[in-house]
Amino acid sequence: MERRFVVLSASMGAGHDAVAGELARRLRARGHDVLVRDVLALLPPGAGAALRSFYRASVRYAPQLYAGIYAAFLSPGEGPRPGTSPLAALAERRLTDLVERRRADAVVSTFHLAAQITGRMRERKVLEIPSAVVVIDFAVHRGWLHPGNDLHLCVTEAAAEAARRGTGRPAAAPGPVVPPEFLAAAGAPDPRWRATLARHAPDRPAVLLSAGAWGVGSGLKSTAQALSHHGCLPVLLCGRDERLRQRAARLPGVLALGWVGDLAGLMSAARVLVDNAAGQTAVQALAAELPVIGYRPIPGHGAEGVREMAAAGLSAYAESPGELLATVGRLAPDGPQRSRRIAEGRAAFRADAAQLISDLAG
């Protein structure tokens, strides 16, 4: 039976949109009608853009400020904290209008502010249709948790247990939501990317350094240089930060790339991902059978997520340059350590979140 879904994403980097887009694709493949909306557009004019700009600037230029905000308002802990953001109340009217106009059967949130909005509305019965929250972070901070929501879908069982404790409501752990091309890339190196990497550094293992869609991270260039001196080809993924790409491109032995449309192909030809956020790039690497090493994470949810991902056995965590190089040396070559890490990563994909969402809608 066809159902109508509204999927709420957020243009905060690219991860939330990536998950929302893949969920929409899967639900449409089941014959459902899906509308994806940026939750920031439901806020009063200018508020969403201001929130995005503040977050981006604080993470990039004032990481300690963001770390303090995260610790004060979002850091994981016992018990829910409904209404963490006063912005949630400001979006209710527009979401109500959208749901009524679409005659939606369920709402799905892939961003924590959206989860607060739907949870508040469900708790007061202003929103009468089921609400699912797809938690894309390994560390389930308070913003994701509101007892009004009907179901939380998480990347690990530990995250699902945290959601159950924090809300008293059902939670499941189907695993990460990634497009099928990443799963298809596993074990089949893309010949074009393999040739590109070989032209830059024949016989050197390619190590991807992720900086997210915004090119954010500390010590990215020094890390790339250390990997190059260690005998690797560091491939710095600069996202949409063209200034970072241009600066990194001047470093000897470093391949600096802007936004990569075929990231699955590139991952298939690489040997390791060095990650600083435990976001979508990290879980896409798991699907593509690319071992992940967390290193110098961004503050707040990034640092929490990198530690939780490693605690779940899905990545390694390096606390120093020497430990990073040693871990790359263990995971880049074929061998039992690499094989074990790959198997643990693939095991994270347990079920289809879209099916659970479809079942929730009835």
Q: Is 84's pLDDT higher than 80?
A: no
Average pLDDT on 128-151 reads 95
From the number of C-beta atoms within 10 Å of its C-beta (0-12, 13-18, 19+), residue 54 rates as middle
The length of the chain in residues reads 362
Average pLDDT on 291-317 reads 95
Cα-Cα-Cα-Cα dihedral sign, residues 244, 245, 247, 252: positive
Q: Lowest-confidence range among 44-58, 68-82, 83-97, 137-151?
A: 68-82
pTM of the model: 0.94
| Separation of alpha carbons 232 and 254, rounded Å | 9
**Which pLDDT tens digit goes with each residue over 192-227?**
999 999 999 999 999 999 999 889 999 999 999 999
Q: Under CATH, which number does the domain 4-173 receive?
A: 3.40.50
- Alpha-carbon distance values, 296 to 216, 222, 314, 335 (Å): 11, 12, 17, 26
Whether 11 and 40 have beta carbons less than 8 Å apart is answered as yes
- Give 180-346's CATH code, choosing from 3.30.565.10, 1.10.10.10, 3.90.1300.10, 3.40.50.2000: 3.40.50.2000
**Which pLDDT tens digit goes with each residue over 314-361?**
999 999 999 999 999 999 999 999 999 999 999 999 999 999 999 999
pLDDT at 161: 97
| Separation of alpha carbons 160 and 212, rounded Å | 25
Q: Is 122's pLDDT higher than 50?
A: yes
Phi and psi of 209, rounded to 5°? -115, 115
Domain-wise residue ranges, the chain: 4-173, 180-346
Average pLDDT on 290-316 reads 95
What is the pLDDT confidence band of residue 82, given thresholds at 50, 70 and 90? very low
pLDDT at 79: 47
Torsion of CA 121, 127, 133, 139, to 10 degrees: 10
Task: Give the strand pairing for 206-210 and 151-153.
Answer: unpaired
**Which pLDDT tens digit goes with each residue over 223-263?**
999 999 999 999 999 999 999 999 999 999 999 999 999 99
Whether 116 and 88 have beta carbons less than 8 Å apart is answered as yes
4-173 against 180-346: fold identical: yes
Q: Is 3's pLDDT higher than 90?
A: yes
- Alpha-carbon distance values, 64 to 57, 68, 241 (Å): 12, 6, 21
Largest CA-CA distance found in the chain, in angstroms, rounded: 62
Buried b (16+ CB within 10 A) or exposed e, 98-118: bbeebebbbbbbbbbbbbbbb
109 contacts: CB under 8 Å, gap ≥ 6: 8, 39, 115, 117, 118, 131, 132, 133, 134, 149
Q: Is 118's pLDDT higher than 80?
A: yes
pLDDT at 76: 64
> Residues of the chain with pLDDT > 70: what percent?
97
**Which pLDDT tens digit goes with each residue over 54-68?**
888 888 887 788 888
Give the chain's mean pLDDT: 93
Whether 290 and 270 have beta carbons less than 8 Å apart is answered as yes
Sheet of 316-318: strand order equals 255-257, 233-237, 206-210, 272-275, 292-295, 316-318
Q: Is 45 helix (H, G, I), strand (E, B) or coil?
A: coil
